[in-house]
Amino acid sequence: MFITWAESMLVHGEGDMLGQPYKVPEWGKRAAFRIFEYDPNRLVRVGPVAAFAYIVSRALLIMPKGSAKTEFIAAVMLFLLAGPSLPTPDGPVQRKSPNLPVAAGSWDQADKLFGDAAKQMCTGTEDSPAPLAPFVECYDTEILLTEGRGKLYRVAAVAGTNDGGLPTAGAADEIHEWDTPRKRRVHLVLFQGMEKRANCLELNITTPDDADPDSLLGIMVADAEKVAAGEIDDPSFYYLHYGTDPTRELLDAEGLVDFDLLLGALKDATPADWLDDDDLARRADSLIRKKRPIHEVRRYWLGAFARGGGHWLPEGAWEDREGSPAESHPDNPLWPAKGTPVVLAFDGSYNRDTTAIVGCTLDGYVFVVDAWERPDDAGPRWKVPRSDVKLSMDEAMKRWDVLELAPDPPGWADEIESWEATYGEVVVEFSTNQAARMAPACTRFYSAVAGGDEDDAVMPLTHDNDPRLARHLRNAVTKRKPGGDVITKESLDSPRKIDIAIGAVVAFDRACWHALNAEPDVEFTAVWT
**pLDDT means over runs of 10, the chain (529 residues):** 92 83 92 94 88 92 90 92 91 89 79 80 85 89 88 74 69 83 80 77 86 76 85 90 83 79 90 88 89 79 68 82 93 95 92 89 96 82 90 96 92 91 94 88 90 64 94 84 77 78 96 82 41
Distance between CA atoms of residues 318 and 261, nearest Å:
24
Which of 285, 267, 284 lies closest to 276 in space, CA to CA? 267
Is 461 in a helix, a strand, or coil?
A: coil
Q: What is the rounded distance in angstroms from the CA atom of residue 416 to the CA atom of residue 427? A: 8
Across the beta sheet with 136-138, the strand order is 136-138, 142-145, 151-156, 99-104, 169-173, 201-206, 58-62, 237-241
Question: Measuring CA to CA, how many Å separate 287 from each of 244, 260, 280, 296, 427?
Answer: 17, 13, 11, 10, 57
Give the span between the Cα atoms of 251 and 223, in whole angstroms.
Answer: 33
| φ/ψ of residue 25, rounded to 5 | -65, 160
Distance from C-alpha of 76 to C-alpha of 171, rounded to nearest angstrom? 9
Q: How many other CB atoms are found less than 10 A from the CB of residue 453?
A: 12
DSSP 300-354: IIT-----TTTBSSPTTTTGGGB---SSEETTEEEEEPTT-EEEEEEE--SSSS-
Contact 10, 72 (CB under 8 A): no
Residue 431 in contact with residue 482, Cβ under 8 Å? Answer: no
Name the pairing type of β-strands 201-206 and 169-173: parallel
Alpha-carbon Rg of the chain, whole angstroms? Answer: 27
Show the DSSP H helices in 41-87 as ranges. 69-82
Please state, in angstroms and rounded to a whole number, the distance separating the CA atoms of residues 36 and 79: 11
Q: What residues contact 40, with CB distance under 8 A and at least 6 apart?
A: 52
- 3-state class of 394 per DSSP? helix
CA 400 to chain centre: 35
C-alpha–C-alpha distance, residues 70 and 11, integer Å: 14
Q: What is the 3-state secondary structure (H, E, C) of 209-254?
A: CCCCCCCHHHHHHHHHHHHHCCCCCCCCEEEEECCCCCCCCCECCC
Question: Going from the N-terminus, what domains does the chain have, and what CATH number goes with each?
Answer: 2-241 (3.40.50.300), 319-518 (3.30.420.240)
CA distance 491 to 505: 20
Pairing of strands 142-145, 484-488: unpaired
How many angstroms separate the CA atoms of 261 and 426, rounded? 52
> Residue 34: which H helix or E strand, with range?
helix 26-35
Q: Of 387, 431, 432, 422, which Cα lies nearest the Cα of 402?
A: 422
The residue among 161, 151, 162 whose CA lies nearest residue 122 is 151
Show the beta-strand stretches assigned E in 28-168.
38-46, 49-54, 58-62, 99-104, 136-138, 142-145, 151-156
Annotate 134-146 with b (16+ C-beta within 10 A) or e (fewer). Answer: ebbebeeebbbbe
Interacting residues of 232 by C-beta distance below 8 A, sequence separation 6+: 223, 226
How many CB atoms are closer than 10 A to CB 427?
21
For 480, which DSSP code?
Answer: E
Can you tell me the distance from the alpha carbon of 317 to that of 329, in angstroms, rounded to the nearest whole number? 27
Query: The pTM is what?
Result: 0.66
Beta bridge partners of residue 368, listed in sequence order: 358
Comparing CA positions, the residue from 301, 300, 256, 271 lying closest to residue 283 is 301
Q: What is the full DSSP assignment across 481-525?
A: ETTEEEEE-SSTT-S---HHHHHHHHHHHHHHHHHHHH-TTS---
Give the separation between CA 266 and CA 261, rounded to whole angstroms: 9
Q: Where are the beta strands (DSSP E) in 75-219?
A: 99-104, 136-138, 142-145, 151-156, 169-173, 201-206
Amino acid at residue number 90: D
